Structure 1
Amino acid sequence: MSVLSMTAYKNNQTHEKSYFGNMVINLPVAPVEVSRTKFASSGQVRSNCMLPHESLAWVAEQADSFEGKGFIISIAGPGDPLATPKETLETIGIIRQKYPEARFALRTLGMGGETYAQTLAEAGVEYVELVMDAVTVDTLEKIYMWIRPARKTLPMAKAAPIVFEEQRRAAAAFKQHNMTVCGSITLYPECNLDQVIPVCEVLKELGADAVAVHSAKEESDDAGVVSSIGDETIASLVLHAAELLPVINSLLVYQPEDGVGNGLPSCGNDYPSATKERPNVAVASSNGMDVDLHLGHATRILIYGPRGTDALPCLLETREAPEPGGGKGRWQSLSNVLGDCFVLLAASAGESPRKILGENGLRVMMVEDAIEGCVDVLYGGGKKGKCKK
């Protein structure tokens, strides 16, 4: 296992495109946070997640682009995959039905790891990235706003010892079941730069195979922008860590950068793509300009697609949606109405329609922004941004 170079870590970026020699598919299916740092945005992660059944289509889209190269599926957010083990295991099971050779990596704080280690290993999880930003209570209090062991928010003075113990037990259980365990240290300015060596020492004692050392993303809030850590400082800390453990990429490297601009969720390297059978985009809108309707309230659906004269995406027609009521039958009927669409944009949508439409080949993306910009991006133009998914 090689150590990434100092140059590769400059500006906390790396040009390495593989994780243990494999391409990575980032799968955002963890809806629940177990912790929140003082450096994180306050957005709700649940709205940025895929449902388990949506994951298969997403993986298929990504896997096709790798042209036979090996790949690992990363479940690294936006919440913690061990906070909702049922959903995590359901997702893995759905994917392995089509891709029995699929390999998985999880990024977790480790709570519940001992309990689920054997089940995860049997399901196909081979790599676990264990988030360990500090080994002292005082430092954790500087970094975290809250941590919720067993879904209950505790004062950091009480939560920290529980986290430390859970992480030790989890690491031992993961190793016992032949999983590769990698520590992950996020560097926070004026908080935990002195913790890199102590954390690596603990990780080595626990039998970890490697460690990732990376700087926190800059965040803007009412107090301003969190200051970044200098490149030379990061490089020096990486080299110190490498004296104890091989240094690798974090799974965070493979997550998309959030941006601004059009409102489309940034949940992977690509958005759903038009096909010959499904060339169009469906939109729930009250005014013809914005994606602003809950799917359940939409009585008409706008259809966008390439026009015949020059193939530029534009409004093609308006279709009547099935009348409200009728339960699951309504969404089955809507899937028939939109049988030539590869994605449906709505301000929000319930789990039942998302599941039924998804099973019928129609991806639902929750968006609140101008139609024109979102449609432009889906057809390969514009600037990708962030929103609800």
Structure 2
Amino acid sequence: MSCSCTSSSTHDSLEQEVMDKINNHPCYSEGAHQHYARIHVAVAPACNIQCHYCNRKFDCSNESRPGVTSAKLSPEDAVKKVLYVGGEIQQLSVVGIAGPGDALANPAKTFETFRLLQEKAPDLKLCLSTNGLRLPEFIDEIVKYNVDHVTVTINSVDQSGEIGSKIYPWVHWNHKKVFGAQGAKILLEQQLKGIKMLVERGILVKANSVLIPGVNDKELPNVAKKLKELNVFLHNIMPLLSKEEFGTYYGLNGQRSASDQEVMEAQEACGMDMKLMSHCRQCRADAVGLIGEDRGDEFTPDLFKTMTWQALEDKYDMPSRAKKHEIIENWRAALEAANDRIKIEQASKEQLSSTGETKLVAVTTAGEGTINLHFGSATEFLIYEVGDKAIKFVMHRKVENAYCKGPEDCDGSYPIEEIKQTLKDVDLLLTEKIGDCPQGELKSINLISDDSYALQPIEKSVFEAAKKYFFADVQVEKELG
């Protein structure tokens, strides 16, 4: 008689297999995203559904959001670009196909790209993003090309299709457009079927959900419950980006973007059921570099298109890249030791705080796990929730303009108001350096700023600074009690 229970050793082995898969994946591992880089190659221009939040742009260089790219690439040119970038940015660990349309609406280009990558850059992890409409159709190809990370965008699990019809006006199915609730029901059926098939094949699934105020904000906890049932690995709740200049249906018709606070509320509501991704940057279809930066403009086609495969493989230099990754792992181990393991993922307030009180702490960083960026140069802030017991990473928050772009661009009109609005609910800012003027401005919203932790490990510094400013009395009571 066979036992249906999984032994602890088997469970540990499976857990280790998953950890090995995500260890250097900056999207699937929050711990990796400050150390490893990714590249998206824009080989998939076509899409088979219409989303009210999407407007694909193929020659756009000034918008930082999904669906835009500076140029479309052939599979061959995409792989040439990867080899060139991988030689320049040796911490590159992942290649993804995320549009600017849908990877599986362009199957020939997508899988030819993966075939060439397997041959030319076998050390890279391969990913694709999809709306899921054709996902069941291409499970075998996904497995064949060792694509072991797949992201599916799923915004509703409403079986009636009513919520979905407010997001997707139509889907292209069986050679025709299917409109409204019927199209949304077809899409959901295919998404759930495809996710189940991926999980059964041992492929890690990340689900993206766009938080659309007044449309699916109350639906997302139901999405999280369903994803947990399906054994999805990670749930990423992204705020709707809805500016008029994006040219989307929502943007042109007055649907507002989601706020940082609404995203935090949704994370709290969904985090009871699902492991959440908190460090997403909603990258372009041609993003290059660390998450949070985009170096795509540096790698124009004229740099790599005319190079021979041999020259590109020499530039890629796999032995040198392996040494770089070894250095990164040694640095991460040292950081983990220095941070004293005081960060908890998916923590409740009870796990963070003995009193139920927590504070929000913002950090400026250029990566590598330290507080190594001046306030004046920051265009995003990492946000941590902190109690007297532990901390957890909550989200990143972007601003369109840094406080100061440098002496040549400073005209005296420093854009502090946007930063103050972005950090209005934050209690403490840790940064490498900050001047008296911006420090005074932040004080006007009761935000304490401190640059005494410059170049120190982020997590340990966040915890120690919060204890110093907010939980000193609690610590004294613990020591006396």
- 1:42 Cα shift? 6.3
Q: Closer, same or farther in 2 for the Cα pair 1:249/1:234, shift >3 Å?
A: closer
Are 2:74 and 1:51 aligned? Answer: yes
Amino acid at match of 2:263: I
> How many correspondences in the alignment?
265
Q: Which one of the candidate residues 293, 297, 312 is aligned to 1:271? A: 297
Q: Which one of the candidate residues 139, 151, 154 is aligned to 1:132? A: 154
Corresponding residue SS for 1:193: coil
Separation (CA, whole Å) in 1 of partners of 2:286 and 2:150: 22
Corresponding residue SS for 2:44: coil
Separation (CA, whole Å) in 2 of partners of 1:273 and 1:39: 28
Q: Which one of the candidate residues 274, 283, 289 is aligned to 1:245? A: 274
Q: Closer, same or farther in 2 for the Cα pair 1:154/1:47, shift >3 Å?
A: farther
CA contact (8 A) 2:152 2:208 kept: yes
1:41 corresponding residue in structure 2: 55
Are 2:52 and 1:23 aligned? Answer: no
- 1:115 Cα shift? 2.3
Corresponding residue SS for 1:253: coil
Q: Closer, same or farther in 2 for the Cα pair 1:224/1:74, shift >3 Å?
A: same
Are 2:186 and 1:144 aligned? Answer: no
Separation (CA, whole Å) in 1 of partners of 2:48 and 2:280: 18
Separation (CA, whole Å) in 1 of partners of 2:184 and 2:279: 23
Corresponding residue SS for 2:282: helix
- 1:96 Cα shift? 1.8
2:329 corresponding residue in structure 1: none
Q: Which one of the candidate residues 63, 79, 104 is aligned to 1:82? A: 104
1:230 corresponding residue in structure 2: 259
Separation (CA, whole Å) in 2 of partners of 1:29 and 1:182: 21
- 1:40 Cα shift? 2.5
Separation (CA, whole Å) in 1 of partners of 2:119 and 2:184: 39
Q: Closer, same or farther in 2 for the Cα pair 1:251/1:154, shift >3 Å?
A: farther
**Cα deviation code 1:70-121 (max 9, x no counterpart):** 6111111111111121111101111221112221111111122222112212
- 1:20 Cα shift? 11
CA contact (8 A) 2:44 2:97 kept: yes
CA contact (8 A) 1:74 1:251 kept: no
Separation (CA, whole Å) in 2 of partners of 1:66 and 1:41: 30
- 1:50 Cα shift? 1.2
1:162 corresponding residue in structure 2: 186
Separation (CA, whole Å) in 1 of partners of 2:172 and 2:121: 34
Corresponding residue SS for 1:82: helix
- 1:359 Cα shift? 6.7
2:426 corresponding residue in structure 1: none
CA contact (8 A) 1:36 1:144 kept: yes
Amino acid at match of 2:296: D
2:234 corresponding residue in structure 1: 210
Q: Closer, same or farther in 2 for the Cα pair 1:358/1:226, shift >3 Å?
A: farther
Corresponding residue SS for 1:130: strand
Separation (CA, whole Å) in 1 of partners of 2:169 and 2:278: 26
Corresponding residue SS for 1:190: coil
Q: Closer, same or farther in 2 for the Cα pair 1:151/1:79, shift >3 Å?
A: farther
Q: Unaligned 5+ residue runs, structure 2?
A: 1-14, 16-28, 59-66, 288-292, 313-408, 410-481
Corresponding residue SS for 2:227: helix
- 1:201 Cα shift? 1.0
Separation (CA, whole Å) in 1 of partners of 2:34 and 2:198: 17
CA contact (8 A) 1:181 1:208 kept: yes
Amino acid at match of 1:255: R
- 1:24 Cα shift? 1.5
**Cα deviation code 1:39-88 (max 9, x no counterpart):** 33365779942111111122123222332x36111111111111121111
CA contact (8 A) 2:93 2:125 kept: yes
Give the TM-score taking structure 2 as reference length. Answer: 0.49
Separation (CA, whole Å) in 2 of partners of 1:193 and 1:210: 18
Separation (CA, whole Å) in 1 of partners of 2:169 and 2:281: 20
1:62-101 superposed matches below 5 A:
62-67=85-90, 69=91, 71-101=93-123
Separation (CA, whole Å) in 2 of partners of 1:168 and 1:204: 12
Q: Closer, same or farther in 2 for the Cα pair 1:200/1:112, shift >3 Å?
A: same
- 1:170 Cα shift? 0.5
**Cα deviation code 1:132-181 (max 9, x no counterpart):** 01122111111123222245211122212211111121111111221101
1:305 corresponding residue in structure 2: none
Separation (CA, whole Å) in 1 of partners of 2:70 and 2:295: 18
Q: Closer, same or farther in 2 for the Cα pair 1:20/1:76, shift >3 Å?
A: farther
Return structure 1 stretches of 4+ with deviation > 4 angstroms: 15-22, 42-48, 249-252, 357-362
CA contact (8 A) 1:113 1:166 kept: yes
Separation (CA, whole Å) in 1 of partners of 2:227 and 2:34: 19
Separation (CA, whole Å) in 2 of partners of 1:72 and 1:57: 15
Moved more, 17-26 or 32-41: 17-26
Separation (CA, whole Å) in 1 of partners of 2:200 and 2:116: 26
Q: Closer, same or farther in 2 for the Cα pair 1:252/1:112, shift >3 Å?
A: farther
Q: Closer, same or farther in 2 for the Cα pair 1:205/1:78, shift >3 Å?
A: same
Are 2:248 and 1:219 aligned? Answer: no
1:272-287 superposed matches below 5 A:
none
Q: Closer, same or farther in 2 for the Cα pair 1:273/1:104, shift >3 Å?
A: closer
Moved more, 96-105 or 85-94: 96-105
- 1:342 Cα shift? 3.6
Moved more, 34-43 or 188-197: 34-43
Give the TM-score taking structure 1 as reference length. Answer: 0.60
Q: Percent identity?
A: 19
